[in-house]
Structure 1
Amino acid sequence: METSAEGAAEAHGSDTAAAVGDGVAVTAAGVEVVGAEAVGTAAGAGVAVVARAPASLSPSRASDFMQCPLLYRFRVIDRLPEKPSEAATRGTLVHAVLERLFDAPAAERTAPRAKSLIPGQWDRLRESRPEVVELFAEDPEGERLARWLGEAERLVERWFALEDPTRLEPAERELFVEAELDSGLRLRGIIDRVDVAPTGEVRIVDYKTGKAPRPEYAEGALFQMKFYALVVWRLKNVVPRRLQLVYLGSGDVLTYDPVLADLERVERKLLALWEAIRLATETGEWRPRPTKLCGWCDHQAHCPEFGGTPPPYPLEVGAAEAGGAAQGRMGPD
């Protein structure tokens, strides 16, 4: 899932601090210094935080770096603020509804019940992420909000044409996973759903609220799933039997049955990617990579491709570890 779960994956496991992401941490008492490199201001909120080199890799941050190294820097190191979007927030809401539906007995997992969960989950989302209220600040009559919630209802209802929840008993929902490779590189993320057959075969399922990609782009769409499969293999020594992407926006289901060679290739790719991140962290050279996606980027004001200037680099150049160990962690736990 690529909604708010990304931040949760990066923050998971901390009892005393709320992680702001790879590189910074803020405790209830203030700023926690955790082997940091520099001090900056978090997400435009005026909160002093400590910047450090990235310490782990998730599917979304890996995709960020492949899309544009400078975007990775803005999100992971600089922690520049990004406005909530209707599409991403709707995705978070729909994911929450589909997760909670499985709390009900199998016979009660119906479309009307699922849709009835939407108002309550929307209230919970606004409480946990107050910034999403900004989406409808200029909607005094609530018309846009009503249309938006109606779109969420349609996505939830479409799911019932793709899967039958009365016949599913997920082994895990919104499962945080983390594994450390032999190189020391730590991989982490959150899997929407894990199904385990009576024979022990594992299926990893991810919900997408957008439309399925064209066939020529299917490999890119499967990258996230192969990432999760690699983590599961490293944790359990089990290659998942099936990877399944459920596209609620178009009503398509994309499946792929991985083999061990697939996961080994993904691991090599991630190690090469992490080495490139290490070098960029050490040198401070995060180059923009212009694509058609630039039109949707929140950081054009800071991007040289649009006449902007990046903020001062908050890490000491040359501070990243060198040698073999640098292929793994660059920052402390």
Structure 2
Amino acid sequence: MYPVPTSLSPSRVESFLSCPMAFRFASIEKLPEPPSVHTTRGSLVHRALEILFMLEPGARSHDAAFSSLDSAIHEYRSDPDFTDLGLTLDQAEVFWGEARDLVRGYLAMEDPQTIREIGLEIRLEAAVGDLTLRGIIDRLELDDAGELIVTDYKTGRAPGPKYVQSAFNGVHFYSFLCQAVFGRRPAKIRLMYLKTGEIIEATTSEQSVRAITTRTTAVWKALEKACVTGDFRPKTGPFCGNCSFKAWCPAFGGDPALAAAEAPRALATVSPA
């Protein structure tokens, strides 16, 4: 009924598990979605830190970090992910200010001059049977012992204790990719929550890497079945209120068959002229 995807990323795996119906709209039918302030701000800060780490270690001062943010802001001022937010001048100033707070939060967490990065925004892919796994690593570095460390920047709040393990699912995914592509498993994965200043770390193992292939294969089989049968069931939860596709979700009285025709028109009516 629908074409079966031949590749998966950490975000797509989590998207399917969170709500198969929303996954169908976004990743199978590829319906347009308006940008969000949270996502765009996160991308902006990621870009600022990428620019910062392009400098030689000794040049990564606090002033350089904010200069890097200014460069990223210059890029984003004309980017549709920002312009389509339709912010007023006052709202835009708040948006830029929040990005500065996140960069300031990062600088309070570590000294960028001490980081031995070997890759930034690295795109990796590896085959698992007929499926291709893809991912982008924010930062890959070496520790003092020469071991690989995967660092992932987060611009939201750190998860509560019972959600910490699930927060690592995507980064363990990157551990698998490192082992498949480089032949080396990272010794550690780090989640840096820039908003709250928290760092959550976990060590990796052969078992954790194998678990990724097992989990991803199971998700892909479930996804394949949904594509063949057309049975993408909605899963309601606390994030439904922010879902771009709520109007067409059967859990809220919508008709999924109308989404392909109506979603582009709905987006056009809310996008700034």
User: TM-score, with normalisation over the residues of structure 1?
Assistant: 0.74
Range with bigger deviation, 240-249 or 263-272? 263-272
User: What residue is the counterpart of 2:267 in the other structure?
Assistant: none
Pick the aligned partner of 2:69 from 111, 118, 126. Answer: 118
Question: Is the CA contact 1:68–1:287 (under 8 Å) kept in the aligned structure 2?
Answer: yes
Superposition deviation, residue 208 in structure 1:
0.3
Superposition deviation, residue 70 in structure 1:
0.8
Alignment of 1:132-171 (within 5 A): 132-137=82-87, 139=88, 142-171=89-118
User: What residue is the counterpart of 1:272 in the other structure?
Assistant: 218
Question: Is the CA contact 2:123–2:134 (under 8 Å) kept in the aligned structure 1?
Answer: yes
Identity in percent: 35
Deviating above 6 A after TM superposition, structure 1's stretches of 4 or more consecutive aligned residues are none
Pick the aligned partner of 2:199 from 253, 256, 259. Answer: 253
Pick the aligned partner of 1:100 from 51, 72, 82. Answer: 51
Alignment partners' CA distance in 2, 1:211 and 1:230? 26
User: What residue is the counterpart of 1:81 in the other structure?
Assistant: 32
1:209 aligns with 2:155: yes
User: Letter of the aligned partner of 2:84 in structure 1?
Assistant: E
Residues 169 and 61 (structure 1 numbering): CA distance in 2 closer, same or farther, change over 3 Å? same
| Larger RCO (alpha carbons 8 Å, 6+ apart) | 2
User: What residue is the counterpart of 1:68 in the other structure?
Assistant: 19
Alignment partners' CA distance in 1, 2:4 and 2:73? 35
Superposition deviation, residue 105 in structure 1:
2.4
> How far does the alpha carbon of each residue in 1:65-121 deviate from its partner, in whole angstroms, 9 at most, with x for none?
110111111111111221111111110000000010012222221222211222321
Alignment partners' CA distance in 2, 1:109 and 1:99? 11
Instruction: Flag structure 2 segments of 5+ consecutive residues without an equivalent.
Output: 261-273
Q: Specify the SS of the correspondent of 1:170.
A: strand
Superposition deviation, residue 232 in structure 1:
1.2
Kindly indicate which of the two structures has a greater share of residues assigned to helix: 2
Superposition deviation, residue 313 in structure 1:
9.8
Instruction: Give the superposed CA RMSD.
Output: 1.8
User: Letter of the aligned partner of 1:231 in structure 2?
Assistant: L
User: Letter of the aligned partner of 2:104 in structure 1?
Assistant: E
Residues 108 and 200 (structure 1 numbering): CA distance in 2 closer, same or farther, change over 3 Å? closer
Question: Is the CA contact 2:121–2:139 (under 8 Å) kept in the aligned structure 1?
Answer: yes
Alignment partners' CA distance in 2, 1:208 and 1:145? 21
Instruction: Flag structure 1 segments of 5+ consecutive residues without an equivalent.
Output: 1-36, 38-50, 315-333
User: Letter of the aligned partner of 1:152 in structure 2?
Assistant: A
Alignment partners' CA distance in 1, 2:55 and 2:208? 36
